[in-house]
Amino acid sequence: MDPPLASLLRDVPFLHSLVDALGSPLNVLLPEVVAENAERFRSVYRRHHLAGRVYFAHKANRSSALVRRLAACDPAAVGIDVASLEELRHALSCGFTGDRVMATGPKDREFLWLAARVGATVNLDSTGELEQLARLVREHGLGRVNVLARLSEFESDAGHGGAGTRVLSRRSRFGTPVAAAEELWTALERHQDTVELTGLAYHLDTTGLEEKARALERCVLMMDECRARGLAPRAVDIGGGFGVGYVADAGEWERWTTALSEAVLGVRPALTWRGHGYGLRNEGGTVRGAAALYPAHRPVAGPGYLDRLLSRPGPVLGRPPATLLLEHLNDLYVEPGRALVDQCGLSLVRVLDVRPTGDDPTRHLVRLGMNAGDVSLEEHGVLVDPVLLPRGGPRDDPAGDGPVGVHLVGNLCLEADLITRRLVYLPGLPRAGDVLAFVNTAGYAMDFHAHHAQRQPVARTVAVSSAGDAWRWCPDEDYWPLTHPQGVPA
């Protein structure tokens, strides 16, 4: 945890008072941090003398406070990537002008119309979507729309003289496969009266630097091909996926994943609910399968990952992508979601009930005032233990038996409603009325999967800011990036 989040977590009475007043679960956001993160991405641009924008991938969090805070950043430097009609409406209502908006993802007619109407850039998923957009523009007399061509399945020779081996980047449901780009260029030429190709784009859902560098190189070359045929793209949009390091200590992560393999083999007690293996299985004494886990320890993530990607010599052309972009006079767009909301928030939950598990009296079930949809760390394979915030301050541990293993279960009448399938170790057994804090949940964990099953309440969200030695809060929807002289939201 970085300082703002860490010091917020130390103010236990404040966090308890929020849960007492606003209920469980409760999401807490630090809007200032999202602006600092955007600035960190910008400093990577400056270091490499690159122009272009950082587009926040809105889908990572529904908050208004975060979007409004980003809207208040330098318009030339920070934009927003929206993936639905409602996200677009939300971005506009939070202060983003249409020219700072990128429309990505699958799109319906209404989404396309509003994006075109307000002058957003449309990140085209396919030739079919281009045809649909061109028709809309003609039928409704809209102005020419800026579009990016999203590409996928980058195929290239594996290195110089790669003996004919072809490397294919991962398959995607989205974007036009590079092998089918010719049809797209022809359609773009045909529709030049309605759309202007302003760049090429990709978004690869991988942590692999090599795969991303390969796609980036390929885009730079394809930009030249486009220019040669009279199209005039200016920007390469390399999507998101810069990642977050959730666990600082590599050894800790290493030990846990090793222990998981051992548990799957049965050479140590299970670490998970009913021996769940996160995708690993025991086949005759050998561990098989791949753990479906987010790599919680990342040696480089976020802006550092972007810096690395831009600096290291590309796999095919052997030059740093930043140099390629500069030489070809290309702007760079990025669409970070998770990385831009790193350290921006936490999720609080009340402990409702604590009881021993039936089969093992040393392990306990801790029932929480939330369900798995409210903090979907498991859904994303992010394994981070919550922090126990005891009511009434730290308490002695009379038994003195140290950490206790607990399973965290939710408030749904459903066997599968586990907040974590892992055994989680808390410094002592919690009591009803205590609060658990899941930290760093602003990226996807906080509201992406929240639902109304059983009419259980979905979390309220509040924005907090530091006011000297105290914290100020307001409902997320009431936050505006206005400050009075003490730096407190008005």
Ligand X SMILES: *Cc1c(COP(=O)(O)O)cnc(C)c1O
Count of residues that bind ligand X according to CB under 6 A: 16
CA atoms within 13 A on the CB side of 346: 27
For ligand X, give the closer residue by CB, 142 or 209: 209
- Which of 87, 125, 335, 374 binds ligand X (CB under 6 A)? It is 335
Taking CB under 6 A as the rule, does residue 240 contact ligand X? yes
Closest approach of ligand X to the CB of residue 243, in Å: 7
Find the angle CA(398)-CA(400)-CA(404) to the nearest 5 degrees: 110
For ligand X, give the closer residue by CB, 334 or 423: 334
Taking CB under 6 A as the rule, does residue 60 contact ligand X? yes
- Which of 22, 80, 81, 129 binds ligand X (CB under 6 A)? It is 81
Q: At what angle do helices 12-22 and 3-10 cross, to 10 degrees?
A: 70
d(CA 328, CA 309): 17
One-character DSSP codes across 201-240: E-------HHHHHHHHHHHHHHHHHHHHTT----EEE--S
d(CA 254, CA 51): 38
Closest approach of ligand X to the CB of residue 148, in Å: 10
Q: How many residues does the chain have?
A: 490
Residues 98-127 within binding reach of ligand X (CB under 6 A) = 104-105
Taking CB under 6 A as the rule, does residue 442 contact ligand X? no
- Which of 25, 241, 303, 481 binds ligand X (CB under 6 A)? It is 241
Closest approach of ligand X to the CB of residue 238, in Å: 9
Taking CB under 6 A as the rule, does residue 390 contact ligand X? no
CA dihedral (481, 484, 488, 490) positive or negative: negative
Contact range with ligand X by CB under 6 A, out of 37-45, 46-54, 239-247, 424-432: 239-247
Taking CB under 6 A as the rule, does residue 338 contact ligand X? yes
For ligand X, give the closer residue by CB, 173 or 455: 173
d(CA 282, CA 288): 6
For ligand X, give the closer residue by CB, 14 or 174: 174
Taking CB under 6 A as the rule, does residue 336 contact ligand X? yes
Closest approach of ligand X to the CB of residue 186, in Å: 24
For ligand X, give the closer residue by CB, 54 or 418: 54
Closest approach of ligand X to the CB of residue 205, in Å: 7
For ligand X, give the closer residue by CB, 59 or 100: 59
Closest approach of ligand X to the CB of residue 202, in Å: 9
- Which of 107, 203, 212, 367 binds ligand X (CB under 6 A)? It is 203
Taking CB under 6 A as the rule, does residue 91 contact ligand X? no
Contact range with ligand X by CB under 6 A, out of 55-63, 267-275, 363-371, 415-423: 55-63
Taking CB under 6 A as the rule, does residue 342 contact ligand X? no
For ligand X, give the closer residue by CB, 336 or 410: 336
Instruction: Please give the span between the terminal C-alpha atoms of the chain, in angstroms, as a whole number.
Output: 27
- Which of 35, 147, 235, 339 binds ligand X (CB under 6 A)? It is 339
Contact range with ligand X by CB under 6 A, out of 132-140, 153-161, 234-242, 474-482: 234-242
Closest approach of ligand X to the CB of residue 209, in Å: 14
Buried b (16+ CB within 10 A) or exposed e, 228-261: eeebebbbbbbbbbbbbbbbeeeeebeebbeebe
Q: CA–CA distance from 365 to each of 157, 351, 377 (Å)? A: 53, 11, 18
For ligand X, give the closer residue by CB, 317 or 446: 446
278 φψ region: left (φ > 0), alpha (ψ -120 to 50), beta (else):
left
d(CA 487, CA 242): 30
Taking CB under 6 A as the rule, does residue 298 contact ligand X? no
Taking CB under 6 A as the rule, does residue 447 contact ligand X? no
- β pairing state of 176-177 and 195-201: unpaired
Q: Please, is 70 exposed, middle or buried when counting C-beta atoms within 10 Å of its C-beta (0-12, 13-18, 19+)?
A: buried
For ligand X, give the closer residue by CB, 335 or 417: 335
Q: CA–CA distance from 179 to each of 126, 158, 361 (Å)? A: 13, 17, 59
- β pairing state of 460-467 and 470-475: antiparallel
Taking CB under 6 A as the rule, does residue 295 contact ligand X? no
d(CA 287, CA 292): 14
Taking CB under 6 A as the rule, does residue 337 contact ligand X? yes
The residues, ordered by sequence, that sit 6+ positions from 180 with a Cβ below 8 Å of its Cβ are 127
The residues, ordered by sequence, that sit 6+ positions from 200 with a Cβ below 8 Å of its Cβ are 148, 149, 151, 219, 222, 223, 226, 233, 235, 236, 237
- Which of 48, 58, 59, 212 binds ligand X (CB under 6 A)? It is 59
- How far is C-alpha 360 from the geometric centre of its chain's CA atoms? 37
Taking CB under 6 A as the rule, does residue 417 contact ligand X? no
Q: CA–CA distance from 189 to each of 9, 18, 102, 196, 226 (Å)? A: 55, 57, 21, 9, 10
Residues that bind ligand X (CB under 6 A): 57, 59-60, 81, 104-105, 203, 239-242, 335-339
